[in-house]
Amino acid sequence: MRAGVLALALSLGPAAAAQEEALRLPSGQAARLFEVLTDRPAGGGPIYRFRYVAEGFSAGAERLDAISADLAWLCEAHALPRIPNSGPRPGRVIISLADRGSEFGVYDEAVTQVFEAYRVEGDRCIWEMF
């Protein structure tokens, strides 16, 4: 795991995350939480990374709208309720969706993965262009 990135204890250890029920996304795809990571860059609020896996996931321009809706739904319906209410609010929430698990920060050409960054406003995730 990359220096400065720590696994976040949100009452979910790696084994618990693997056992969590599949989430039915707006597109109909089923996804599971793979892991949650956090770090705190200098001068900003914490960044929460929620990484999800959906077997058979594929990306492509023709699926852009469905994928965007799935990522936004994962942020608002699943990730935000799992961020602690005490302490500093997140500077960003990053949602990723992949066809299989992979080591964070390590490129693997066999993995299909997409991700988006959001800022949090109340109970809403607002898309942030990279």
Quote the Cα angle for 89-92-96, to 5°.
Answer: 130
Residue 19 to residue 12: CA distance in whole angstroms: 10
The answer, as to whether pTM is greater than 0.75, is yes
Express each pLDDT in 51-84 by its tens digit.
999 999 998 888 999 999 999 999 999 999 999 8
Express each pLDDT in 81-119 by its tens digit.
999 887 778 889 999 999 999 999 999 999 999 999 999
Containing H/E element for 43? none
- Amino acid letter, 113: Q
